[in-house]
A = this chain, B = another copy of it.
Amino acid sequence: MNKTTRSERIAMILLMLSQQPNKLHTLTEFADRFGCAKSTLSEDMAALKKVLAANGLGRIETVPGAAGGVKFLMGGPAGANVACVQAVCEKLSDPARILPGGYLYTVDLFSDPSCIRKLGEIFAAQYYGAEPDVVVTVESKGVPIGLMTAQALGCSLVVARRDNRVTEGSVVTLNYLSTSSKRLQTMSLSRRAVHEGQKALIVDDFVKGGGTVGAICNMMKEFAVTVVGVCSLVATPQAAAQRRLRDFRTLMVLEGIDEENEKISIHPADWLENSK
């Protein structure tokens, strides 16, 4: 086997880092793999940091000290984030998406990795500093965006169920009033899913009245888990404005659906202009 050249080594290091976002890699790991000195690797990291910054495609963070290393973090310029969310809003504004009863057909886009991967990365970039241990969502439409956010944060996903399953073991069950449908709903979470003292980021696809995400927050209290933030792909203006949810961020605000005139009004949320 030929010796790896500098450019080949740098490319492989970036690939390995980017495939496990927010995971710490030691320089020793790369030194052993590519047979080079740590000082050489430090130069490689400097080059990668520079070119990532120039292209707005995430960044590499150096953690100093004996237990240190390097890790890849998602995130881009605010302008790119707004443009990305704006493009999704435009797709969602297609009148063919209006369903009987004034609902919006979103599942195709919100299950499409090429769409929601980037959206999950935007969420993740806002919460690296809060260091969540888990992303929590409720089945089943929250699962794709929850998983993508968890992937970008390098943490695991926990899914609260709408019914009890034998495959979950013993569960904690919570009844709550859905603020939008005014109906009593049930949510269950396996007792094995989260642990006391952990930090959770709540992620859902759509927040209308806030009943469901509020119930997840209450469920976290039952498990003595701290909620570091609540994220939603789409929210109503009422939900977006409310202060009851801790650190609530929605990517899109759905102002309304005019069934008669076949018009959907949806736009990127204001905070994106100052996003990471």
Contacts and interface: CB of A to CB of B under 8 A. Distances in A.
Interface residues of A, number: 63
Nearest to A1: B54
Given A156-B112, A167-B103, A11 B48 contact: yes
A67 B132 CA distance: 44
A91 interface: no
Contacts of A7: 6-7, 10-11, 47
A18 B15 contact: yes
Contacts of A151: 113, 117
16 contacts: A1-B54, A6-B7, A8-B10, A8-B48, A10-B10, A11-B48, A11-B51, A12-B52, A99-B166, A99-B169, A106-B167, A111-B143, A113-B151, A139-B140, A143-B144, A147-B148
Interface in A104-138: 104-108, 111-114, 117
A11 B51 CA distance: 9
A5 B19 CA distance: 23
Closest CB pairs A-B (n = 6): A7-B7, A113-B151, A140-B140, A8-B51, A139-B140, A112-B156
A221 to B, nearest CB: 21
A101 interface: yes
A24 to B, nearest CB: 13
Contact of A157 (B9, B104, B113): B113
Interface in A139-164: 139-141, 143-144, 147-148, 150-151, 154, 156-159, 161
A4 B54 contact: yes
A144 B169 contact: no
A48 B11 CA distance: 8
